Each structure stands twice: as C-alpha cells, then as structure tokens.
Amino acid sequence: MSSIEIRTVLLAATGCLLLATTACAPSGAAGEAQSTADASASPSAKAPESADAAAPATVEGTFAFTDGTTIGILAAPWNTTDRIQGQLVHQLPVPPGTPPDDEVWSDLIAYVPDVAYAPGSTEPEAVPADPVAWTLSHPDLEILDQREVMVDGVAATQIDARAKTETGWLAVEAMPFGWGGDERVVLVPLDGSWLVVRGSTFQPDVSFADDLPPGDGFSVALESIDLPD
C-alpha cells in the first residue's frame, strides 16, 4: 500500500471516529476552525453511485478558520470531514481495493499549521518564519515546480513536489499528516500565519499539468478562498 493510500485510510478512519465524538465536542474551542455549512453535511453522506468523480467540482457551504479566512466545502461526490482539529479534509469515494486511476486528486486538505516537523524528526517545532524557503530546501522533497499564484488577490506560492522518503512537513500538531507521495501545495500568507492547501495525486503527469480539466477540485477550492479584509 502506498503512503498516499495509507493516508487515505487514516483519513477515512478519522472521519468514522469523528462521527462518534462530534456530539460531545465543545463548540468554539480555541484554535479550532468552525464550519458554516449545515451540520448534516459534516461529514457528508456517501455519494450516490451515479455521482461522477470526473465532473467539475462545485462548492456547497464554507469552512471558516479562526482568523476569519474561509474556504469552500466541495459538494458530492467529494466526502468532507470538516472538523478534525482545525483541518478541512476532502476525499473522493473509492471502492475498497480500487486504485483511483480516474481521479485528478485523491484528497484535498486545508489547514493553518501550528507546527513543523523537520526531516527525520517526530518532534514538533515552530512553524518557520518563511515556510516557502523551508519547503524548497527540504532534503526529503524533490521539487518539481514552483510558481506564484493569486489567491483572493494575495500572492501565494504553489509547489509541486515528490517525497523521496516518507517525511514530516507543516501540520496541525493534534492531527499531523506526513508527506509520502506526489503533492501540490499552496502556501497563502495570512496575518502572522499561513494557510496551506494541499492535494495528493496518483497521477502527477495529469495533476501537475498546466491544462488541468475545467473545475478540478484543487482549483475550485483555491478560487473559493476568501481572506479577511
């Protein structure tokens, strides 16, 4: 099982755990993001079998971070788990044992990191003052592409990279995810912090191309971001 598949299984398991704990979780806890979507969509029910994973993504509701930044919640067939320790997690439903060869992105995660994990370390550290430079010099990552993108009128950095070995990166300490495959990340500067949007893929030749299919989930998520004034 690849590292991306492992992460997908972990995300699914976390979503199941969330279903059992949401009812007793305190609302408005410090550092926890809040969703403005209807509670019935969190996590969303299993997408109908007729849903087309290759169809253009659409937004249904928004997810708010503590500084007021919001990002759209992707509608079915995306499954969302929108309150896992301040992270918004999107996944496409995949039948067990079936590689998602027709998917541009296997999962999408948005969060404001509060820790960083240095190469080879399992101990959390402070988020670097310049996480872009820190990422580009990361010895465990092969940088495939770097470019500037605009997110709600703010210059952000998009990086396509491949993990040479399973490694840590920027994370939410309570629920860290490693980097174990091919990913596209966008780092958006906020006021004193950073918003991270990351998408993992089984098809880097497709996902990292300049001519992505119209309405791909990653692009739609980026376009939905609303930064505080």
73 domain-assigned: yes
Q: Which tokens in the block code for residue 54?
A: 């290759």
Q: Name which of 80, 105, 99 is nearest 183 in CA terms.
A: 105
Instruction: Specify the pLDDT at position 12.
Output: 41
88 domain-assigned: yes
Instruction: Specify the pLDDT at position 178.
Output: 86
195 domain-assigned: yes
82 vs 214, which has greater pLDDT? 214
Backbone angles phi, psi at 19, to 5 degrees: -60, -35
Confidence band (pLDDT; 50, 70, 90) for 42?
Answer: very low
228 domain-assigned: no
Q: Are 131 and 115 in contact (CB under 8 A)?
A: no
157 domain-assigned: yes
Q: Which residues form the domain of 95?
A: 3-223
Instruction: Specify the pLDDT at position 170.
Output: 96
Q: How far apart are CA 36 and CA 27, in angstroms?
A: 12
Q: How far apart are CA 159 and CA 44, in angstroms?
A: 29
Structural domain total, the chain: 1
Instruction: Specify the pLDDT at position 82.
Output: 58
Instruction: Specify the pLDDT at position 21.
Output: 33
- Which of 95-104, 105-114, 191-200 has the lowest average pLDDT? 95-104
Question: Quick count: other Cβ atoms within 10 Å of Cβ 30?
Answer: 6
pLDDT digits (tens, 9 = 90+) for 44-102: 334 344 445 567 899 999 999 999 999 999 998 888 875 667 899 998 876 555 555 55
Dihedral of alpha carbons 121, 124, 130, 136, sign: positive
Q: Which tokens in the block code for residue 108?
A: 């999408």
Instruction: Specify the pLDDT at position 116.
Output: 95
Instruction: Specify the pLDDT at position 177.
Output: 81
Tell me the DSSP string of 2-30.
Answer: -HHHHHHHHHHHHHHHHHHHGGGSPTT-T
229 domain-assigned: no
Cα Rg of the chain, angstroms: 16
pLDDT digits (tens, 9 = 90+) for 5-39: 434 434 444 444 333 333 333 333 333 344 433 33
147 vs 54, which has greater pLDDT? 147
SS3 205: helix
Is it the case that residue 175 has pLDDT exceeding 60?
yes
- State the DSSP code for 167: B
53 domain-assigned: yes
Q: Name which of 155, 108, 154 is nearest 11 in CA terms.
A: 108
Q: How far apart are CA 179 and CA 113, in angstroms?
A: 14
Q: How far apart are CA 223 and CA 44, in angstroms?
A: 21
74 domain-assigned: yes
Q: Give whichever of 39-53, 99-113, 132-146 has the largest mean pLDDT.
A: 132-146
Confidence band (pLDDT; 50, 70, 90) for 134?
Answer: very high
| pTM for the whole structure | 0.76
Confidence band (pLDDT; 50, 70, 90) for 220?
Answer: very high
229 vs 223, which has greater pLDDT? 223
